[in-house]
Structure 1
Amino acid sequence: MPALATLAAELDRLPTRRWRGEIRSAAGMTLEVDGLQRVLSVGDKCHAETLRGGRVLCETIGFRNGRSLLMAFDSLDGVAEGCAAVTDDTAFTLRPGPGWLGRVVNALGEPIDGKGPLLNGEHPRSLRQPPPAACARRRVGRRLDSGIRVIDSFVPLCRGQRLGVFAGSGVGKSTLLAMVARHAEADAIVIGLIGERGREVREFIQDDLGPEGLARSVVIVATSDEPPLMRRQAALLTMTVAEEMRDSGGKGGKHVLCLMDSVTRFAMAQREIGLAAGEPPTAKSYPPSVFAELPRLLERAGPGPESGGEGDITAIFTVLVDGDDHDEPIADAVRGILDGHLVLDRKIAEQGRYPAVNLLRSVSRSLPGCHDARENRIVGRARALAAGYDGMKEMIRLGAYKRGTDPETDAAIDLHPQLEDFLRQGKDDPSPSADSFARLESLLAAIGDHA
């Protein structure tokens, strides 16, 4: 019976009719097609035929002068004026499931790890799902143990929370994500590598994630050289797989950790698509659709619906800030949507301290509720002393400050090297949150400061 049910599902996916249009022009990755404007709607998929008998998957992105605008998922080599564009009336859906764990797939849900075909799930899922209704969602849950001292103590992550990691290029975003993937509590992990360099994908999977991390993960990859539709769809597929994993744990649901690197490249892909469709550019040439798509993507993560058991999606999204400008349009928009932000500082990375988290610029919106009274006192006191040192550091370096002038500044000077050592952590050195708080409390006690 299961085999018959699977066969019936596959038969339902077969197209029942096809419409043919004619390609009139091509520019970049975009085609103008006659004859399909009353058949295709925005988002529909079709195939462009080539002179050599091949087919290129395309998506409808808009309409212009009575013609359909299509954008290709692959190179348009071989496509010429007069070639046919053929519709496919089956919805573009995928069937992710637990059998995808331990696998690496592309934006089309095709395996790229050489391990054979995927074991698909039972139910098809659309790439574009609305998030749970705001009033039907559970509240953010308990604090998670990530194994990373700076996160667990100063920028805590709770079940169902969405955290952004903001940094320039080469400051350690991917390594930090890999540390979380290795050590955080989760039933399943879904990782989207969006617009990454091709050579870094294998390094991330083999060196940073490792066999143990991969075994409980699904990795979706779209490298920087792939067309914008592939990069955008990889981000959508990442959220779709996370939703399936959340809902596949029976009545109880699963806790899924979703990691996406990076949401900025999703926005850049949408910018290319929007401009090709004729949208007007706004700030930094981003069209309006970018700022509409960002919340639609990010809001899909978070606490699950109350009617759906106990499943949640806890998410960390990296944001590649342009020129280390943390107020550029995408960073500013994402920061306003998420539930906290972790800022990685290039100057700290240049000093050799990793993770290069800027403590004073990083905030979790789950505070103070996710810590108990003792933990809040410890973290508050350590943060206050760190801020005191930061305000006086130039005078200290110049020798203009005389010890004994201000007891608060003296305590900040004494704590600074110890706090820097506390924040420094290797990727293979997990630290339980209870140990992190005990160590931080002992550092404060050692300088005569009892939080």
Structure 2
Amino acid sequence: MAESGKIVAIRGAVIDIAFAPETLPEIDEALSLRGETVTLLAEVQAHLDRHTVRAIALQTTSGLRRGDEAVRLGQPLNVPVGDAVLGRLMDVAGNAGDGRGEFPASLPRRPIHRQPPALVTQKGVSDLFVTGIKVIDLLTPIARVGKAAMFGGAGVGKTVLVMELIHAIVESYRGISVFAGVGERSREGHEMLLDMTSSGALARTALVFGQMPTMSSV
């Protein structure tokens, strides 16, 4: 029988859960929170004491109450991997969100928390990532396997710029892109999905979207 605990506090997406000491879940372990009208996933972030963990809910906590059950899943969240996720949109739990049906049960899955590759297996790259966008390549060139950041308010073109970078990876380098986005407006995510589909870049891209949870308190 699955080991379970009870929710003792809810502060928006932050959930405190009490377990028996011998059944305390591990850090990064996934939990199933089961209320009367809602079931959602959470992830353990900290051990507060020998009895209590603090977890982050991965969906809205509306309808969840103190005293509701939290069941240990015994492992981190698992998501589908492989060529089948290219051209698809999914959430952090690996559920399809593009209306094209769920992923097959036979599809390989891997935990979202894994050990990184050993340092000796990695090698540095000093080449530049040519984007094809002149103002970037001339004034702020990006190193391959490096990092870059964009800042700006609403409507200044951040989404368009991200799509151009993804297009460069797909078309110029024949690479694969994974776009992960969390925000308040699902409309913008839907528009990005449509734009990438029409541009042909989606076929070699996997989209992982997360909706900012509704805040609630009990």
For the superposition of Structure 1 and Structure 2, which TM-score range results when normalised by the shorter chain? 0.7 to 0.9
- Flag the 1:179–1:76 CA change in 2: closer, same or farther, 3 A: closer
Structure 1 residue 219: Cα displacement: 1.1
Partner of residue 27, structure 2: 42
Tell me if 1:214 matches 2:199.
Answer: no
Q: Determine which structure has the larger helix proportion and give its number.
A: 1
**Identity rate of aligned residues, in percent?**
23
- 2:117 corresponds, among 132, 138, 149, to 132
Greater relative contact order, per chain length (Cα 8 Å cut-off, separation 6+): 2
Partner of 1:176, secondary structure, is helix
Partner of 1:162, secondary structure, is coil
Partner of residue 177, structure 1: 162
Partner of residue 68, structure 1: 53
Tell me if 1:165 matches 2:150.
Answer: yes
Partner of residue 59, structure 1: 43
Q: Determine which structure has the larger strand proportion and give its number.
A: 2
CA distance in 1, matches of 2:213, 2:109: 25
Partner of residue 106, structure 1: 91
* 1:204-260 per-position Cα deviation (integer Å, ceiling 9, x unaligned): 22236634111221111113x3369xxxxxxxxxxxxxxxxxxxxxxxxxxxxxxxx
Gaps of 5+ in 2: none
Any conservation in 2 of the 1:48–1:84 contact (CA below 8 Å)?
yes
Partner of residue 176, structure 2: 188
Could you say which structure has the larger radius of gyration?
1
- The amino acid that maps onto 1:72 is A
* 1:159-211 per-position Cα deviation (integer Å, ceiling 9, x unaligned): 32322233344322211111122234232121122225221112222236634
Partner of residue 117, structure 1: 102
Partner of residue 30, structure 1: 14
- Flag the 1:147–1:93 CA change in 2: closer, same or farther, 3 A: same
Partner of residue 201, structure 1: 189
Task: Compute the TM-score of the two structures, normalised by the length of structure 2.
Answer: 0.79
Task: Compute the TM-score of the two structures, normalised by the length of structure 1.
Answer: 0.41
How many residues are matched?
210
Partner of 2:8, secondary structure, is strand
CA distance in 2, matches of 1:139, 1:181: 22
Structure 1 residue 156: Cα displacement: 2.9
Gaps of 5+ in 1: 1-16, 229-451
- The amino acid that maps onto 1:213 is A
**Which stretch shifts more, 98-107 or 77-86?**
77-86
Structure 1 residue 97: Cα displacement: 0.9
